[in-house]
Amino acid sequence: MKGLRDKTALVTGASSGIGQAIAIRLAEEGCNIAINYRSSPGGAQDTLDEAMKQACDDVEKCGVRALLVQGDVSKEADVVAVVDQVVKHFGQLDILVNNAGVQTESPSHDLDVDSFDWVLNVNLRGAFLCARETIKHLLHHQRPGSIINVSSVHEVIPRPHYLSYSISKGGMGNLTKTLALEYANQNIRINGIGPGATATPINDDWTEDADKRAVVESHIPMGRAGTPEEMAAAVAFMASDEAAYMTGQTLYIDGGLTLYADFQEAWSA
């Protein structure tokens, strides 16, 4: 895609799932990639190895570079250090993908405050902190940039028993729009993707069990879960110059999940 070669991209939570696929895809497109992980350098190293394999046959010649950066996105000092490390290593930061995310399940009347805070702190505070540090860097160097928030269909679909998650993704939608408006005239674009049910480790409870998976997929108009690569393709588009005039939008990649699936078949006259 146009305009990605030689850009530097930081992907948070990139040691598994959607973040891993995004880092690999951006490397394939010619970006240098900073692979953030919180605690598992093993998964992050797998991302790096696969990204390099996909990026080119000869790593030395193709010029794509990669860096592993440890840091908890919910901690301000970690985020400042992560962005600093990326800029020192690559000399620039052009693309941020706020992918790191967690969820917890509980009836809302039993949800303890620590679980509530944990989800909000990773999903929303983390995205804010990473965006803030990236924007600071871009403004300082008067560089254009692109931020992509990995949100969810639950940005717009309420999800009982996942109150903190739904709130965090709803907030992320507003983060996307507000930052997009604030920095539109500085050529910093902020967009988001809203994945539907995607086969990744966050969903081990149903992806690993054929019966449970069939139940989940029966609710999706297209009849199947999405893949991390399908999410990564949309992120690559949004980060590229193909989306140069797009800002403040969340693109839902969900097999039709946001289309009021109950209306797929007639149930009223």
Cβ 206 vs Cβ 212: under 8 Å: yes
Q: Which residues contact 133 (CB under 8 A, 6 or more apart)?
A: 79, 80, 82, 83
Q: What is the spatial distance between Cα 97 and Cα 111, in angstroms, rounded to a whole number?
A: 29
Nearer to ligand NAI, 187 or 203 (CB): 203
Q: Which of 165, 183, 252, 260 is catalytic?
A: 165
The one among 19, 170, 171, 255 contacting ligand NAI by CB under 6 A: 19
Task: List the interface residues with ligand NAI, window 189-218 (CB under 6 A).
Answer: 195, 197-198, 200-203
Q: How far is residue 83 from each of residues 91, 100, 242, measured CA to CA in Å?
A: 11, 15, 26
Joined tokens for residue 265: 């078949």
**37 catalytic, yes or no?**
no
The one among 69, 100, 130, 239 contacting ligand NAI by CB under 6 A: 100
Joined tokens for residue 156: 């717009």
DSSP at 200: S
The one among 1, 7, 9, 16 contacting ligand NAI by CB under 6 A: 16
Nearer to ligand NAI, 204 or 241 (CB): 204
CB of 245 to ligand NAI, least distance (A): 25
Nearer to ligand NAI, 61 or 160 (CB): 160
Joined tokens for residue 165: 């998650």
32 binds ligand NAI (CB under 6 A): no
Bridge-partner residues for 28, per DSSP?
none
Task: List the interface residues with ligand NAI, window 101-120 (CB under 6 A).
Answer: 101-102
Active site residues: 165
